[in-house]
Amino acid sequence: MDNAGLEFNTERRQLRTLERPKKLKILVVDDEPDNLDLLYRTFRRDFQVLKADSGMNALQMLAAEGEVAVIISDQRMPEMKGTEFLSKTVPQFPDTVRIILTGFTDIEDLVEAINAGQVYKYITKPWDPGELKAVVQRAAETYDLLKQRTEELRCANAQMALLTVLVEVTQAANSLEETLKPIATAFSKSFGADACILQLVEGNNLSAVQGDYGNGSTVENWLAVDSLVSEAITTGKVQLCLNVLKDPKLSGVDHYQKSGIQAHLVIPISYRNKVMGLLSLQWKQPHTLRDDELKLIHLSGQLVAIALTSSHCA
């Protein structure tokens, strides 16, 4: 499989690239309504702002909403101090960046919280909106960078796991057919897909030989009537649609509606410019893939071609 395999259906790929990035979530916590409203107004243009008037209510909101990028909390609140509240968020949300607003000198608590990694920075009241905005912007960038590095590590681990599976399968399998299901399983788990099908191709047509994996459900195979699949076989290029509902060519297609698949990535498995198989990754929610993830999938497709060829020759 040469570098041309990394080319994509441009029209459908734009369904991903043209979507505006979502605002990061931040949570502001203060028991004084005026302060809470002021914090909300300060950040609502740049962030999706959640607000709570106590530590307990903030914990309940996090349980319902999930992780946020930044938490800004007042220190002196009834029932639960800000540092106590923030410490309770660390185990479940270790990547969240935490900022304390304090109107009094409680150095011992603040220093202890900072040293324990529970607080990124504290700002004294009355706080300056410009200063606070700058601190929160840096905190958001820190969160983004941490998430990016975590994702890069996950991708590296996924690539290593895939390589390990492909080597093990190639060495252990007694036939080409035995390699298909383990490979489909490894791809599905590595890229968080709800379903994956690896199907052989003969004479530019799908054969009956396949391996599949479904995340807790039976996989229905409708690839023979799918337009992305036919394009992938014909062109030898990766085809993808990461939001089926927004694609006028696919949104009304019967098999997408019945299966509930909302994102589909099709990778032709080629050896010496001949398509010998097809890998289909399917998600039940609109999906996003970064360029480095797409390159990883492309490289993994090349490894699959080598594995299938080795198994066929065994």
In-domain check, residue 55: yes
- The per-residue pLDDT for range 126-157, each reduced to its tens digit, is 888 889 999 999 999 999 999 888 878 877 78
- The per-residue pLDDT for range 6-43, each reduced to its tens digit, is 454 444 443 343 344 578 999 999 999 999 999 999 99
| Mean pLDDT lowest among 90-104, 107-121, 231-245, 293-307 | 107-121
Structural domain boundaries enclosing 114: 25-127
Does residue 104 sit in the same domain as residue 73? yes
Between strands 263-271 and 239-241, the pairing is antiparallel
pTM of full prediction above 0.85: no
- The per-residue pLDDT for range 254-306, each reduced to its tens digit, is 999 999 999 999 999 988 888 999 999 999 999 888 777 777 787 888 888 88
Name the band, by pLDDT with cuts 50, 70 and 90, for residue 3: very low
Instruction: Indicate which CATH number applies to the domain containing 288.
Output: 3.30.450.340
Cα 105 vs. chain centroid, distance in angstroms?
A: 41
Q: Is the dihedral of CA 90, 125, 51, 148 positive or negative?
A: negative
Confirm if 143 and 69 have CB atoms less than 8 A apart.
yes
Name the band, by pLDDT with cuts 50, 70 and 90, for residue 56: very high
Our count of domains for the chain comes to 2
Question: Where a domain ends, among 96, 127, 158?
Answer: 127
Q: Could you write out the three-class secondary structure of the chain?
A: CCHHHHCECHHHHHHHHCCCCCCCEEEEECCCHHHHHHHHHHHCCCCEEEEECCHHHHHHHHHHHCCCCEEEEECCCCCCCHHHHHHHHCCCCCCCEEEEEECCCCHHHHHHHHHCCCCCEEEECCCCHHHHHHHHHHHHHHHHHHHHHHHHHHHHHHHHHHHHHHHHHHHHCCCHHHHHHHHHHHHHHHCCCCEEEEEEEECCEEEEEEEEEECCCCCCCCHHHCHHHHHHHHHCCEEEECCHHHCCCCCCCHHHHHHCCCEEEEEEEEECCEEEEEEEEEECCCCCCCHHHHHHHHHHHHHHHHHHHHHHHC
Does residue 294 sit in the same domain as residue 181? yes
Does residue 117 sit in the same domain as residue 157? no
- Mean pLDDT over residues 92-112, rounded? 79
| CA separation for the pair 222, 176 (Å, rounded) | 22
Instruction: Indicate which CATH number applies to the domain containing 107.
Output: 3.40.50.2300
Does residue 119 sit in the same domain as residue 158? no
The mean pLDDT of the chain is 84
Does residue 98 sit in the same domain as residue 157? no
Does residue 175 sit in the same domain as residue 87? no
Does residue 123 sit in the same domain as residue 86? yes
In-domain check, residue 203: yes
CA nearest neighbour of 312 among 272, 267, 276, 269: 276
| CA separation for the pair 161, 240 (Å, rounded) | 23
Does residue 43 sit in the same domain as residue 178? no
Does residue 233 sit in the same domain as residue 278? yes
